[in-house]
Structure 1
Amino acid sequence: MVASISFSVASPQGSRKLSVSYERAGAGEPLLLLHGIGHHWQAWEPVMGILAAGRDVIAVDLPGFGASPPLPPGVPYDLSTVGAVLGGFCEALGIDRPHVAGNSLGGLLALELGRGRLVRSVTALSPAGFWSEAERRYAFSTLRAMRTGARALSPALIDSLSRTAAGRMALTGTIYARPGRRSPDAVAAETLALRGATGFHQTLAAGGAVLFRDDVPDVPVTIGWGTRDRLLLRRQGIRAKHIIPGARLVRLPGCGHVPMNDNPGLVARVLLDGSS
């Protein structure tokens, strides 16, 4: 059941209150799921049922995305601040050092939590932050184009496009290798989520100078990369392995940038292995 929780975080202006929406299901060791920029917690729906059979799964809408309100004025969307927000979220739920899995921006945030030893394990699927400058510019320009396109379409047109295979390809072909497998309702909902994401520009601006350069010692790390990732090219996974030499690097054959929909069984297995 989707829920919302409020809590306070430190900021340059002092303690500030904010709210975060999340979906929670299952029982077992806690597993926190973090989506990418412009997406919402429903990115994880294809694997939620499998994961919930053995884990207490908490899929969160990051601040300014999905149903979560934006951060309070003056609170930055940088890596350390959003990492602290997620720490406060876990504390508010009474979760001590969960396992964490993230995709894209969520993968970068998962690694940040691992670097701070706030989690038991990290699984990062196509995490941001391992790009060259040219690769970062390409990814950011692609994301801006996706956002501009979503905002140019009316909700009625988005719904209409989502009803055809060609329309689903046009709306989500950048992030899925197999967009035809995504349901029309899910494609429409995630396009609307991108269209209305209040934290999009601030998050993208904060990511302009981000490079993940530190090892993540004492925390098991799995890095998965889709062989058909068109947004963050898979060679970035090799860089990630060099920076985090103890990480397990997993190839996700036939998967795109958001692999949970392209091969739910494989991705769920990778997440369960990484959090075991």
Structure 2
Amino acid sequence: MLAHERIGSGEPLVLVHGIGHRRQAWYPVVDRLAREREVVLIDLPGHGESPALVPDGRPVRDILRDILEDFFVEQGLDRPHIAGNSLGGRIALEAAADDLVSSATTLAPAGFWRNKVDFAYIRAVFTVLTGAATLARPVAPAILSTAPGRAAAFGLLMTRGHKLSPDAALGDLHGLVHARPALETIIDGGFPFDRPISPSIPVTVAWGTRDLVLLPYQAGRARRALPAAEHVTLPKCGHVPMIDDVDLVADVLLKGSGHPRLGRTAYDVA
């Protein structure tokens, strides 16, 4: 079973973190979400406290889909809402395409790069991040004890890394190193998202204007690929925006996961 937490009450909203991260990535927005949703936080296979991701000759997409579907069954989640960041956003879109969820809200979802050169850049970013995290472990407690150190260490991922607590930052660094085998397996199996999603499943795509991992031009490609979705701009936010603008991200997640019978609230669309 995937390591997970369930917090709050209301319509269930499953939150899926990005590649190399862990479920605690969502902690900055959980309190706001849990007032209106039952928030279900998961660690992906090979990440956080979940079991390893075991390649079995099948496409990574199929493995992750089956694991997610099994998790829904184990937890009694019947077509929950889902939201994800980066890889988690891609998983949310795949779940919507597979008709497993009631809505999908995504923050910089993976799968909208232009070509092999762009994908090579993404691979290089994570190679640099995991390599630097591995080398920095002996001195990480000292570096991450200061706000400037946290801002520098997480500058590729977020614009306000200094707002992370030292413990959260250190946990994220160790989590990235721990997830390296799964990260490499997932990136090796990467390919663009090109599946149709039923118009009956509300989809939201939000993108930070300062995303240095999945560059903001990809938001335009997502808009063209998913013309029926709501497309939202996150000003001054990076690739992992949950701490860059807590209120804005929480608002996007709540509105994106609004239950159809309650209606969906209009908000600014880029």
Please give the TM-score of this superposition, normalised by the length of structure 2.
Answer: 0.91
Q: How far off is 1:128 after superposition?
A: 0.4
Q: 1:130 aligns with which of 112, 127, 133?
A: 112
**Counterpart of 2:84 in 1: which secondary structure?**
strand
* 2:40 is aligned with 1:66: no
Aligned to 2:79: 97
Relative to structure 1, is the Cα distance of residues 73 and 221 closer, same or farther in structure 2, using a 3 angstrom cutoff?
Answer: closer
**1:166 alignment counterpart:** 148
- Inter-partner Cα distance in structure 2 for 1:196 and 1:206: 19
Matched, 1:250 2:238: no
- The 1:59/1:148 distance shift into structure 2, 3 A limit, reads same
Shift of 1:169: 2.4
Per the TM alignment, residue 73 of structure 1 is displaced from its structure 2 partner at its CA by: 5.6
1:137 Cα deviation from its structure 2 partner = 1.2
* Letter of the 2:189 counterpart: A
Q: CA deviation at 1:201?
A: 1.3
CA distance in 1, matches of 2:136, 2:59: 27
**Percent of residue pairs identical:** 42
Segments of structure 1 that go 5 or more residues without pairing to the other structure are 1-18
Whichever residue aligns with residue 100 of structure 1, its letter is: I
Deviation for aligned residue 1:65: 0.4
Pick from 231, 238, 245: which aligns with 1:263?
245
Aligned mates of 1:141, 1:187 — CA distance in 2: 22
1:159–1:188 CA contact under 8 A, matched in 2? yes
Give, in whole Å, the separation in 2 of the partners of 1:252 and 1:123. 13
What is the CA distance between 1:153 and its match in structure 2?
A: 2.2
Q: Which amino acid aligns with 1:65?
A: H
CA contact (8 A) 1:214 1:244 kept: no
1:225 corresponds to:
207
- The separation in 1 between residues aligned to 2:87 and 2:77, in whole angstroms, is 22
CA RMSD of aligned residues (A): 1.3
Identify the match of residue 206 of structure 1 among 189, 204, 222.
189
TM-score by length of 1: 0.89
Matched pairs, number: 255
Structure 2: state its 5+ residue gaps.
259-270
The secondary structure found in structure 1 opposite 2:243 is: helix
1:176 aligns with 2:158: yes
Runs of 4+ in 1 over 3 A off after TM superposition: none
Q: Which aligned pairs between 1:184-199 and structure 2 lie closer than 5 A?
A: 184-197=166-179, 198-199=181-182
Tell me how far 1:165 sits from its aligned partner.
2.4
Matches of 1:77 and 1:105, distance apart in 2? 15
- Structure 1 position 265, deviation (Å): 0.6
Deviation sequence 1:133-191 (CA, Å, 0-9, x none): 2221111101111001111123x411111111232123211000111111111111101
Q: CA deviation at 1:54?
A: 0.7
SS of residue matched to 1:102: strand
Which AA in structure 2 matches 1:224?
A
| C-alpha contact (below 8 Å) 1:215/1:245 kept by paired residues | no
